[in-house]
Amino acid sequence: MQERSERTRRRLVRAGAEMFRRNGYDRSTLGDIARTAGVTKGALYFHFASKDELAEAVQQRGAALLGETVRDLGASGGTPLQALVDLTHWLARTLHDDPAVPASFRITVECTGREGGGTDFRRAWLAAVCALLRRARDAGELRAGAGRYGAGWERAESLVAAAACGIEAMAATGMPYEELGRRVAALWELLLPALVPAGAAARYRTAPAGSAGDGSAANGSAAAGSAADGTRGLSPYLGSAV
């Protein structure tokens, strides 16, 4: 009985994530979520007393996925900066593979200022990014100007944080994962020379682990060139805005 209840709860969280990702918080109804999950509204209310509770469970699911990934990367034996590169590729992939992550970003934006607080996935994402960057600094991976406390460190932290948040913004345009992955690799081709000592950027893999470009800085440069190609700009994903 307990196992069945847990399966129902997982289905509801998944359905809630799908609806919040697609329609946003305000336009998603509990009735629609129950139908998507294939359960009655009574079953939904058994697990979640309100839409706020379900939205919190979705964000907790996103935060759990993020935490598991950070721990796995920390145990992989790579450097903190490589772990940060890999974490951004994880985000690019998971924004397409698991609705809890894009839904968590959307809930955070749409529910800012609501009473009750709760999980803030965007803040958790930025905290994970900045923690890995600080570990890279403490491990001596960053160039002197970026590694010291003060203005140099603040510039480096702000640059990486803004770039990390931009990944979700690009994914929200409907950009396919393959294109998004290339753009994340291109992003690191630009960021790494500004962050690490001269000549050290080539030590880092900018492509996703296991991809065709794995381990090849030349492939990362090619990705940067492809992203800069005017025929492959952001225009197709931005509609009439450009």
Q: Tens digits of per-residue pLDDT, 59-92?
A: 999 999 999 999 999 999 999 999 999 999 999 9
Locate tokens 């069945």: which residue?
4
- Over residues 14-18, mean pLDDT: 98
Alpha carbon 191 to its chain centroid, in Å, reads 18
pLDDT of residue 235: 54
Section 132-144 average pLDDT: 93
The more confident residue out of 239 and 48 is 48
pLDDT above 70 covers a percentage of the chain that reads 82
Contact 86, 1 (CB under 8 A): no
Q: Judge whether residue 238 has pLDDT over 90.
A: no
Q: Which amino acid is at 140?
A: G
Residue in this structure with the two tokens 């698991």, named with its chain if needed: 98
Averaged pLDDT for residues 179-188: 96
177-195 vs 80-97: helix crossing angle, rounded to 10:
160
Tokens of 79: 């450097």
The band of 94, judged by pLDDT with boundaries at 50, 70 and 90, is very high
- Tell me, what's the pLDDT at 230? 36
- Quote the pLDDT of residue 152: 78
The CA distances from residue 226 to 22, 122, 174, 219, 236, in Å, are 29, 29, 18, 10, 15
Amino acid at 126: L
Distances in Å between the Cα of 19 and the Cα atoms of 32, 34, 51, 121, 218 are 8, 10, 12, 17, 40
* Average pLDDT value for residue range 226-230: 41
Give me the pLDDT at residue 92, please. Answer: 97
Residue 127 has pLDDT above 70, yes or no: yes
What are the helix (H) ranges across the chain?
2-23, 30-37, 41-47, 51-74, 80-97, 100-110, 121-138, 144-147, 151-171, 177-195, 217-228, 235-238
Stronger pLDDT, 130 or 236, i.e. the higher one? 130
Q: Which is more confident, 241 or 41? A: 41
pTM reported for the whole predicted model: 0.85
pLDDT tens column, 187-226: 999 999 999 999 999 999 999 988 765 654 444 444 444 4
pLDDT at residue 226, as a whole number: 42
Distance CA 206, CA 84 (A): 10
Cα separation of 195 and 153, whole Å?
10
